[in-house]
Structure 1
Amino acid sequence: MTPPDSAPGASSSSSSSSSSFRDRVRGAASPSPDVRELDVSSTPADPVSLFLEWLDAAVAAGVVQPHAFTLSTASTASGPTARTLLLKDVDDAFWFTSSALSPKGRQIAEDERVALTFFWAAQGQQVRVTGSAVAGPRDVAEQDFRHRHPDSRAVAVAVPQSTEVDDVRAADEALDRARAEVEADDDLVPDDWTAYRVLPVSVEFWQATTGRDQVRVRYDRVGDDWRRASLWP
């Protein structure tokens, strides 16, 4: 494939910039995963089992915050957006928590289709999950909020997430009031705090190898079952 900077009509400044970027990353370390090769024929029948197997391996290998993932959402007004969150639980769904009044909460209210991306560079592994995010039971959200650090709870109570701060003093005063509320009532949980569960419809596993560029296997939900397919790299 012809590199973009070599295409007809490309400017010399574009070529120079691209060349400089390639020089910067050429010597970057590549993953050398000390994991067994992904044998598609021996993978479990459901993707959650394989995900938990990979997660346990990442924990055992000392991967920092292996439960961190990128959540991608979209709306008519903003288009696609992404941010990093922490996974709270896994059963038949992938769980995370947030305010329903946050940008992601509002986007999910408009379009419940979301994507989750886990990337464990040291392991040479990536997991991509697509599905629908729906609000879980209220008691799950309340329990999650009460387990958060008091400062984190106060921040969530004080001002809606992602609000532009025009008056820093007013925001600090709101935070002080929220801290007092949280200290006075340990059971305080904002009505907008939500535990979301993502019901997967597709889960793709990507494994880097030394002999090939990658091995990929995708699970697609078919009714109550899963269909597995090996994907060309």
Structure 2
Amino acid sequence: MSSIAARLRTLPALTGDLPEVDPFSLSADPAEAFVEWLTVAIDAGVPEPHALAVATVDSAGNPSARVVLLTDVRDGCWVFATDARSEKARDLTADPRCALTVYWQPLGRQVRITGRAEHVPEAERRADFLARSPSSRASLIAAHPGESLASVEQMQQAVKRARDRVDREPGLVADDWQVWAVRAEQVEFWQGVSDRAHMRLQYRWDGVRWDRRLVSP
């Protein structure tokens, strides 16, 4: 066993006062159930409860995952934004199938969503960009995802120039800004339990309604 493996085995897991869950007390609609759990996480002070892992595959089937921020849950969709030049945007354009994961560690809760991503209307795309802080908009305008940089200072100067432009043009919206809505086909709610008798509740869309079942962890 390597030294890091030995050290990892000493780390505690599923610590703290984990909430008890009656799985069938959750809404029959997984989006509504998600909002219920998200609200609990926000009220409990979970750090960055809107952090969302997005997994995609490229045209060759190579997987990739990264963390973004969830911006909305509505109409059965989980919504996030990205740059059209980013790897995730290219992947979703080629293959809209994707998987999302949220983990609220202090509550021992995880939610997994799989489905297909679709673009939102232009008005919503623009509104999302303009709702962000001037500093955030400047950073997004200055960025060129994946391109090489000669130094840290190069990016800092690009952000400074972009911030000057944002201040001069407060209605400016980056052409490459995209907002994606993932329409769920399967959603799983996982509640960790200290004795390891974990709870897994799966929702599957059968084309007409959501089928809900409890499964073994």
Q: 1:79 aligns with which of 62, 82, 88?
A: 62
Amino acid at match of 2:190: W
Alignment partners' CA distance in 2, 1:137 and 1:157 = 20
Q: 1:65 aligns with which of 27, 48, 51?
A: 48
Deviations 1:122-166 (CA, angstroms, capped at 9, x unpaired):
111100001111110112221121122222212222242232214
Structure 1: segments with no counterpart, 5+ residues: 1-15
Amino acid at match of 1:51: F
Aligned match of 1:101: 85
2:119 aligned with 1:126: no
Percent identity, please: 38
Q: 1:54 aligns with which of 37, 47, 72?
A: 37
Give 1:139-154 correspondences, 5 Å limit: 139-154=123-138
2:187 aligned with 1:216: no
2:21 aligned with 1:38: yes
Alignment partners' CA distance in 1, 2:119 and 2:35 = 23
Tell me: CA distance 1:172–1:220, structure 2 relative to 1, closer, same or farther (3 Å). same
Aligned match of 2:215: 231
Deviations 1:147-195 (CA, angstroms, capped at 9, x unpaired):
2222221222224223221476665554443223211110100122111
Q: CA deviation at 1:103?
A: 1.1
Larger displacement relative to structure 2 (39-48 or 165-174): 165-174
Larger displacement relative to structure 2 (71-80 or 120-129): 71-80
Q: CA deviation at 1:31?
A: 1.9
- How does the TM-score come out when normalised to structure 1? 0.84
Aligned match of 1:192: 176
Q: 2:7 aligns with which of 24, 29, 37?
A: 24
Q: CA deviation at 1:110?
A: 0.5
SS in 2 for 1:98: strand
Amino acid at match of 1:79: N
Amino acid at match of 1:140: E
Amino acid at match of 1:70: A
Aligned match of 2:189: 205
Aligned residues: 216
Aligned match of 1:9: none
Which structure has the bigger radius of gyration?
Answer: 1
8 Å contact kept, 2:18–2:193? no
SS in 2 for 1:65: coil
Larger displacement relative to structure 2 (188-197 or 29-38): 29-38
Tell me: CA distance 1:144–1:213, structure 2 relative to 1, closer, same or farther (3 Å). same
- How does the TM-score come out when normalised to structure 2? 0.90
Q: CA deviation at 1:40?
A: 3.1
Deviations 1:27-77 (CA, angstroms, capped at 9, x unpaired):
322224535433333332111121111111111211001111111111024
SS in 1 for 2:118: strand
Give 1:3-18 correspondences, 5 Å limit: 16-17=1-2
Alignment partners' CA distance in 2, 1:152 and 1:44 = 35
Amino acid at match of 2:99: A
Alignment partners' CA distance in 2, 1:141 and 1:105 = 14
Two-structure CA RMSD over aligned residues (Å): 2.1
Alignment partners' CA distance in 1, 2:152 and 2:216 = 52
8 Å contact kept, 1:33–1:208? no
Structure 2: segments with no counterpart, 5+ residues: none
